[in-house]
Amino acid sequence: MAELALITSSSVENPEIKPWERMDGEPLFWHNRYKRFQGLGPKRTVLAAVEQERKQSKAPKSTQNGEKPKPKKSLSVPGSWKAASIRWCWVERAAAFDEDKVTRIVAGMFERLYDGPALAYNRVKTLQNMLDAIAHDLKVNVYVTADQKLGYYARMQKILQDIREEMRTFDHATQAFILRHATYQEYENYKSPTSSEDFLQLAERAGGIESFSKQIEAEIARRKELAQLKEMLGETGVKQE
């Protein structure tokens, strides 16, 4: 009787070793067959892995004199495959692989969910940006009428009320935890964003170097405009005092 391999022994000693990776003592030949089995997806079977390997290993034979090819024999799982799948825990390891893949997909879905207005921090920042934009518009538009000014003030007051309402239920600990998670991922992905390799990665995500350069220029202009706005508002406040 074949001795069963324990998929938990290596992973407990070294958590970085995944169950679906090559196990201690597992022959490379059978590990490659396990990878074939794993790659068939959740509905995988050992028989399907056997059939796939035989189809890829056998070259099609041409018929001569118009003779019909012989009918294919029905396949069965060889004993060596059965023994190896049990010995090296193919089913359990593939199930662990599937679970990890689903977990990663779900985690990505939640990250995309919180990368927007669903996160309270983002909602407050959006309201603040709207408030800054309205204040800037009011500042630079010198031809507004008294009624238009009242409209500006009403909109700004409504935004301030929305910010106050958001902050009333703002859970600092939860928001900080989510933001730290997102920031840590960005830090891991781009520890040195000024290096040539990471610059190319950023450019690729932005749609190309030209598009990336335009986005950088737009961000620089936005920050300058925001700094000027803050400076003007600060000067206005000093004069009013």
pLDDT of residue 142: 77
Tokens representing 180 are 């730290």
pLDDT higher than 90, residue 59: no
Smallest CA-to-CA distance from 164 within 199, 128, 205 is with 128
194 backbone dihedrals φ, ψ, rounded to 5°: -90, -10
pLDDT of residue 188: 62
The whole-angstrom separation of Cα 177 and Cα 180 is 5
pTM: 0.49
Smallest CA-to-CA distance from 6 within 23, 18, 31, 27 is with 23
CA distances from 228 to 48, 66, 149, 215, 219 (A): 67, 85, 21, 20, 14
pLDDT digits (tens, 9 = 90+) for 134-164: 888 888 887 888 888 888 888 888 888 888 8
pLDDT higher than 70, residue 88: yes
pLDDT of residue 236: 47
pLDDT digits (tens, 9 = 90+) for 174-233: 777 777 776 766 666 655 545 555 666 666 666 666 776 777 777 777 777 777 776 766
Smallest CA-to-CA distance from 215 within 201, 227, 199, 203 is with 203
